[in-house]
C-alpha cells in the first residue's frame, strides 16, 4: 500500500461532514455523522446490511439533501441545491450493479457518454475515453455491447465511464461483488493506481486491508469508529456487535 501523508496542515478535506443527518424519509437515517476524508485517501466504508452506506453515498453524490448538519464535498456545501447539482463535476459513483449505469450500445459510447455530457470537444472526449480504456484494460472490448459482457468486464466499463469524467472523488459500492479471484485481483491493482480519492463501501474486508489507508465503521446510521484498517478490523470486540467478523489475515496465528 502506498504511503499517504495525512499530517500536512495545508491539505483541505475532499469530504467533510459535521453533524450530518440525512435519509429517504421523515425519519432521519444518517445520524450526527462527523467524518473527514483527505485528498488521495482510500477509505473502506464497512458495516452490516442496512447500516446507511447507500444513504451516505447518495448524500455525497447530491441525490439526497442533508436534513441537518453540513456536508462539504469537493469544497461545495451540499445544503445548497445548486451545489448538489454541480457535485457531479467532482465526484463519480460506481454502482454495485453495473447494469444500472451501462446505457449505450457499445463500450466506447458508454465510456464517452460522461465527458460528452460535460460539453467537451470531440478531441478531448476521444483522449479521455482512450485513457480510461487503457487504465481498465478494455482495449479488446470497445465495440462490444456492454450488457453482454461478464460481470467483471461490466464493472470495468462502469469504472471507465467514471474515470473518463476525471472526478476528484470516486465512490465505489461493493466493487468486488460477483468477481472471480482474477477479476478481484485485477480490480485491486487498478484501484491502487488511481490518484483520485476513493471511498469504497464493501463487505470484502480483505480488500480494505489490502487497498485502504483508512477504515470507517458505520452502523444504524451512525459512524461508530474510524481508524487504520489493520487496527480497526482486528478488534473483535468492536466488529462482532456490528455483525462483522475479523478478516482471516488478522486472526492470531
Q: Phi and psi dihedrals of 189, rounded to 5? A: -65, -40
User: In the chain, where do the E strands start and end?
Assistant: 15-22, 30-37, 42-46, 68-73, 76-77, 91-94, 169-173, 197-201, 214-219, 222-227
Question: Is residue 4, in this structure, part of any structural domain at all?
Answer: no
Q: Domain of 29?
A: 12-90+169-253
Looking at the fold, whether 237 and 118 belong to one and the same domain comes out as: no
Looking at the fold, whether 249 and 178 belong to one and the same domain comes out as: yes
Looking at the fold, whether 66 and 158 belong to one and the same domain comes out as: no
Looking at the fold, whether 126 and 178 belong to one and the same domain comes out as: no
CA distances from 227 to 31, 45, 213 (A): 20, 11, 9
Looking at the fold, whether 183 and 240 belong to one and the same domain comes out as: yes
Among 71, 117, 61, smallest CA distance to 94 is for 61
Question: Is residue 57, in this structure, part of any structural domain at all?
Answer: yes
Looking at the fold, whether 34 and 155 belong to one and the same domain comes out as: no
Looking at the fold, whether 46 and 152 belong to one and the same domain comes out as: no
Question: Is residue 122, in this structure, part of any structural domain at all?
Answer: yes
Question: Within 10 Å of residue 248's Cβ, how many Cβ atoms?
Answer: 9
Helix (H) or strand (E) holding 219: strand 214-219
From 151, 166, 181, give the residue that closes a domain.
166
Question: Is residue 85, in this structure, part of any structural domain at all?
Answer: yes
From 166, 191, 209, give the residue that closes a domain.
166
Question: Is residue 155, in this structure, part of any structural domain at all?
Answer: yes
Looking at the fold, whether 173 and 154 belong to one and the same domain comes out as: no
pLDDT at position 3 is 39
Identify the CATH number of the domain in which residue 247 sits: 3.40.50.300
Looking at the fold, whether 186 and 248 belong to one and the same domain comes out as: yes
Question: Is residue 232, in this structure, part of any structural domain at all?
Answer: yes
pLDDT at position 5 is 47
Question: Is residue 19, in this structure, part of any structural domain at all?
Answer: yes
For residue 193, the Cα-to-chain-centroid distance in whole angstroms is 15
pLDDT at position 27 is 62
From 166, 191, 217, give the residue that closes a domain.
166
In tens digits, what is the pLDDT along the chain, a chain of 253 residues? Answer: 333 444 444 458 999 999 999 997 756 699 999 999 999 999 999 999 999 999 999 999 999 999 999 999 999 999 999 999 999 899 999 999 999 999 999 999 999 999 999 999 999 999 999 999 999 999 999 999 999 999 999 999 999 999 999 999 999 999 999 888 998 998 999 999 999 999 999 999 999 999 999 999 999 999 999 999 999 999 999 999 999 999 999 887 6
Looking at the fold, whether 150 and 205 belong to one and the same domain comes out as: no
Question: Is residue 222, in this structure, part of any structural domain at all?
Answer: yes
Query: The dihedral of CA 160, 52, 99, 178: what is its sign?
Result: positive
pTM, whole model, 2 decimals?
Answer: 0.91
Looking at the fold, whether 86 and 173 belong to one and the same domain comes out as: yes
Looking at the fold, whether 22 and 137 belong to one and the same domain comes out as: no
Angle at 116 between CA 110 and CA 121, to 5 degrees: 135
Amino acid at each position: 500500500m502506498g504511503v499517504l501523508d495525512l499530517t500536512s496542515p495545508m491539505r483541505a478535506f475532499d469530504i467533510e461532514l459535521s453533524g450530518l443527518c440525512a435519509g429517504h424519509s421523515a425519519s432521519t437515517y444518517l445520524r450526527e455523522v462527523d467524518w473527514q476524508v483527505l485528498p488521495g485517501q482510500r477509505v473502506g466504508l464497512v458495516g452490516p446490511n442496512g447500516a446507511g452506506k447507500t444513504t451516505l453515498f447518495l448524500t455525497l453524490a447530491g441525490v439526497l439533501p442533508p436534513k441537518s448538519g453540513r456536508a462539504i464535498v469537493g469544497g461545495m456545501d451540499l445544503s445548497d441545491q445548486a451545489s448538489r447539482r454541480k457535485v457531479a463535476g467532482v465526484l463519480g459513483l460506481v454502482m454495485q450493479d453495473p447494469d444500472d449505469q451501462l446505457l449505450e450500445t457499445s463500450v466506447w459510447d458508454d465510456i464517452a457518454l460522461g465527458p460528452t455530457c460535460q460539453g467537451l470537444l470531440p478531441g478531448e472526449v476521444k483522449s479521455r475515453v482512450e485513457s480510461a480504456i487503457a487504465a481498465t484494460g478494455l482495449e479488446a472490448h470497445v465495440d462490444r455491447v456492454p450488457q453482454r459482457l461478464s460481470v467483471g468486464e461490466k464493472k470495468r466499463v462502469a469504472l471507465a465511464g467514471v474515470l473518463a469524467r476525471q472526478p476528484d472523488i470516486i465512490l465505489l459500492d461493493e466493487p468486488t461483488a460477483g468477481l472471480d479471484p482474477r477479476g478481484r485481483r485485477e480490480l485491486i491493482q487498478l484501484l491502487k493506481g488511481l490518484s483520485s480519492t476513493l471511498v469504497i463501501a464493501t463487505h470484502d474486508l480483505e480488500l480494505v486491508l489490502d487497498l485502504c489507508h483508512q477504515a470507517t465503521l458505520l452502523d444504524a446510521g451512525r459512524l461508530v469508529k474510524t481508524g487504520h484498517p489493520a487496527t480497526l478490523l482486528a478488534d473483535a470486540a468492536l466488529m462482532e456487535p456490528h455483525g462483522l467478523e475479523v478478516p482471516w489475515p488478522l486472526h492470531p496465528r
